[in-house]
Amino acid sequence: MELGEFGVWTALRAIGEENAAAAAKLVEDLGYGTFWVGGSPRLPSLRPLLEATDRLVIATGIVNVWQYEPARLAAEAADLSADFPDRLLVGIGIGHREATTEYAAPLATMGAFLDGLDAAEPPLPPDERCLAALAPKMLALSATRALGTHSYFVPVSHTRFAREQVGESGLVAPELACVVDSDATRARAVARRYAAMYLGLTNYTNNLLRFGFTEADLGGGGSDRLIDTVVPQGSADDIAAAVRKHLRAGADHVCLQPLGVDGVPREPWTELAAALGL
């Protein structure tokens, strides 16, 4: 499966499901390798994206384990992979403590979910799945039970740490939200609005505290230092420089999520592709 160094990250509800196939074709034509679909999509909704493209990998970022049965996920993945071999990567995550009353024992729950995928007929192979992982134990699980990890809302220092945890051969594929806008005040405001939800979720805040930020950074909508580190802003060239920091830190693949655009973000996707040399 060829993810390429660069991909895009979005959600069907953000771009409009009716626009998703055309958006995927645009992403492929621009030279990106992977189209990540967030919001725990049902796998059949990805078929139009695969049909509209020839080589683009479609990845989930992520499927939530509380919203899917392993056997059904494996069957739906097998159905798509039979028609589009080596073009579906199933990203799987435990979600957020604040999002479900069922949330408990995340590591054990993920392990049991992966056991279910292995026991399914046909199974979802480890090299066709990756795990959302922030903390050491989940990162270790991603290295032994999956292709590697897809991280979200992380600084470069976490990417470096993830590489250490999953080893040389494991996938490290961070998402990077960004704002392509030369107006610094406006761009930071967009980044801060986006970050507000994540600064209210303990898995993300605990992770940021592990990587050099303080409680003071988390308050008041996030310090400028935190916002600028996790959600880079500026020209497409500025964002490309931030992407390359993740690559130097050990990322195999970085998926970009431009913010501040309603619908399909054609212009920032295009500008970023040019800045990245695609």
Residue 163's pLDDT is 98
**Burial environment of residue 185 by CB neighbours within 10 A (0 to 12, 13 to 18, 19 or more):** exposed
Give the DSSP letter of residue 24. Answer: H
R_g over Cα of the chain: 18
User: Which pLDDT band holds residue 104 (cuts at 50, 70, 90)?
Assistant: confident
Question: In whole angstroms, what is the distance from residue 81 CA to residue 76 CA?
Answer: 9
Q: Is the pLDDT of residue 102 over 80?
A: no
Distance of CA 200 to the CA centre of its chain: 19
**For 165-176, what is each residue's pLDDT tens digit?**
999 999 999 999
User: Which pLDDT band holds residue 96 (cuts at 50, 70, 90)?
Assistant: low
Q: Determine how many CB atoms are found less than 10 A away from the CB of residue 29.
A: 13
Give the DSSP letter of residue 250. Answer: T
User: Which pLDDT band holds residue 164 (cuts at 50, 70, 90)?
Assistant: very high
Residues 30-38: what's their mean pLDDT?
A: 98
* 154 close to 174: Cβ distance less than 8 angstroms: yes
* 10 close to 257: Cβ distance less than 8 angstroms: yes
**Burial environment of residue 82 by CB neighbours within 10 A (0 to 12, 13 to 18, 19 or more):** exposed
Residue 63: which of 51, 50, 72, 54 has the closest Cα?
72
Does the domain formed by 6-177+250-275 have CATH 3.20.20.30? Answer: yes
Give the DSSP letter of residue 81. Answer: H
The pTM of this model reads 0.97
Q: Where are the beta strands (DSSP E) in 188-258?
A: 233-234, 254-258
Q: Is the pLDDT of residue 100 over 70?
A: no
Residue 250's pLDDT is 98
